[in-house]
Amino acid sequence: MSETEQLQMTPLNRHHRGLNALMAPFGGWEMPIQYAGIIAEHRWCREQAALFDICHMGEFLFKGDLLASGLEDLFTFSVAAIPVGRSKYGFLLNEQGGIIDDLIVFRFGEQEAMIVVNAATAPNDFQVIRSRLQGGALCDITAATAKLDLQGPVSREVLTAVCGEQIARLPYFKFAPLDILGVPAVVSRTGYTGELGYEIFLPAAKVAELWELLMADPRVKPAGLGARDLLRLEVGYSLYGSDLDEQTTPLEAGLEAFVDFGKRFVGKEALLQQQAAGIARRKVAFTVNSRRAPRHGYAIQADGRRIGEVTSGVFSPMLGCGIGMGYVAAGHTDPGTALTVCQDRVSLEATVCPLPFYRGGSLRS
């Protein structure tokens, strides 16, 4: 972003400033990084219920025939196979198999779906999707739509008190259309923290009222993007722009489980060719033998030579050590493999491990 470009602000910007949040640019938006502190907010989410402002995410509404429009061929999963009332995670790829974005599609009806995308990529995503459609109607509803994430082991109790008993019956990756504060809303049992939680979509004009209502519950505290990043990395979720980008394929990222090779999609042939030729680099997870956090861009070495680079790293309060993810040359990905993570005078001994790092969350409670 250039100095002349204006940061966008969510409808809750005034509330964040009233709570003395540390604000910073993220994906073209001014967003809260922390309030009481990243570690404190992380702990509250793991033990109680944390409320996140995620209004910066992009939402597109599609209406039309899924097959005739070409929507079915856009993603690495079948939209038509998603039952109404459920959602699915996957990718929008370029012709080379690189990840334009990772996203979730919510199946609203037989001929209606909502596509939820990352903030920084939303304008490009919309143009790519629209250019590949042969029919149907695609509308960018981002400006009119707000999104709150309530995450943590007591989030079900908190939200049930506000929205009714229907919330308590929602299984993982299922959503329900509800009336909240007199307006239509969607509550989805999904999230990005590894804890039981919900994503709430509602008209932007009503989000401040819902924020205040939820914050009135003593079991709820606000959390910023710093805690969100720490929470997601502890459970091994990838972050677009760090762990995923247009030069990285789902196969390299170890996310082939979200690619359906039984259907057509843009980038499929490139992925098949990559499979046949052999994947030269792969994403690995690793722990560090100290409390020091590996950082994005640090070199990864094995046997004294550079084999890759760190893409995400933090100190994990739940593990009591540094953790990270990065891409390394094939042959260095087996659990137990010894690595060295280094930058200038920093040198950290690390060990490849399976994901997730932290397995004690309430996600499927």
Nearest to 53 by CA among 183, 194, 212: 212
> How far is CA 163 from each of CA 171, 186, 272, 322, 351, rounded to the nearest angstrom?
16, 11, 46, 39, 45
CATH of the domain at 84: 3.30.70.1400
Of the chain, the percentage scoring pLDDT greater than 70 comes to 99
Please check whether residues 97 and 152 belong to one and the same domain: no
Query: Is 156 inside any structural domain?
Result: yes
Whether 354 has a pLDDT exceeding 70, the answer reads yes
Phi, psi of 27 (to 5 degrees): 60, 30
Whether 4 has a pLDDT exceeding 70, the answer reads no
Q: How many helices (H) and strands (E) does the chain have?
A: 7, 20
Whether 328 has a pLDDT exceeding 70, the answer reads yes
Whether 3 has a pLDDT exceeding 60, the answer reads no
CATH of the domain at 16: 3.30.1360.120
Cβ neighbours of 355 (radius 10 Å): 17
**Helices 38-47/225-234 angle, 10° precision:** 60
Please check whether residues 85 and 39 belong to one and the same domain: no
Please check whether residues 154 and 230 belong to one and the same domain: yes
| C-alpha to C-alpha distance for 182 and 201, rounded to whole angstroms | 14
Query: Is 110 inside any structural domain?
Result: yes
Query: Is 269 inside any structural domain?
Result: no
Query: Is 360 inside any structural domain?
Result: no
| Cβ contact 111:63 at 8 Å | yes
Give pTM, 2 decimals. Answer: 0.96
Residue 5 confidence (pLDDT): 66
Residue 365 confidence (pLDDT): 86
Please check whether residues 49 and 194 belong to one and the same domain: yes
Query: Is 257 inside any structural domain?
Result: no
Please check whether residues 300 and 162 belong to one and the same domain: no
Please check whether residues 308 and 190 belong to one and the same domain: no
| C-alpha to C-alpha distance for 171 and 356, rounded to whole angstroms | 21
Q: Which amino acid is at 99?
A: I
Query: Is 271 inside any structural domain?
Result: no
CATH of the domain at 291: 2.40.30.110
pLDDT digits (tens, 9 = 90+) for 207-230: 999 999 999 999 999 999 999 999
| C-alpha to C-alpha distance for 273 and 249, rounded to whole angstroms | 12
Q: How many domains does the chain have?
A: 3
Q: Give the count of alpha carbons within 13 A of 335, CB side only.
A: 5
User: Considering 172, 201, 234, which residue would you say is the last residue of a domain?
Assistant: 234
Mean pLDDT of the chain: 97
Please check whether residues 50 and 148 belong to one and the same domain: yes
> How far is CA 241 from each of CA 165, 296, 297, rounded to the nearest angstrom?
38, 11, 12
Please check whether residues 47 and 84 belong to one and the same domain: no
Q: DSSP code of 168?
A: G
Whether 2 has a pLDDT exceeding 60, the answer reads no
pLDDT digits (tens, 9 = 90+) for 90-126: 999 999 999 999 999 999 999 999 999 999 999 999 9
Domain containing residue 182: 8-55+143-234
pLDDT band at 1 (very low <50, low <70, confident <90, very high): very low
Please check whether residues 206 and 335 belong to one and the same domain: no
Of the chain, the percentage scoring pLDDT greater than 90 comes to 98
| Cβ contact 313:296 at 8 Å | yes
Please check whether residues 101 and 117 belong to one and the same domain: yes
Please check whether residues 79 and 115 belong to one and the same domain: yes
pLDDT digits (tens, 9 = 90+) for 23-63: 999 999 999 999 999 999 999 999 999 999 999 999 999 99
Please check whether residues 147 and 40 belong to one and the same domain: yes
Beta strands of the chain (E only): which ranges? 8-9, 22-26, 29-34, 49-53, 58-63, 87-93, 99-109, 112-117, 137-140, 145-151, 175-180, 183-188, 197-203, 220-222, 281-288, 299-302, 305-316, 321-329, 338-343, 346-353
| C-alpha to C-alpha distance for 102 and 90, rounded to whole angstroms | 6
Query: Is 3 inside any structural domain?
Result: no
Residue 364 confidence (pLDDT): 87
Q: Which amino acid is at 145?
A: T
Residue 21 confidence (pLDDT): 98
User: Considering 117, 140, 163, which residue would you say is the last residue of a domain?
Assistant: 140
User: Considering 110, 140, 170, which residue would you say is the last residue of a domain?
Assistant: 140
Per the listing, tokens 């009714």 go with 164
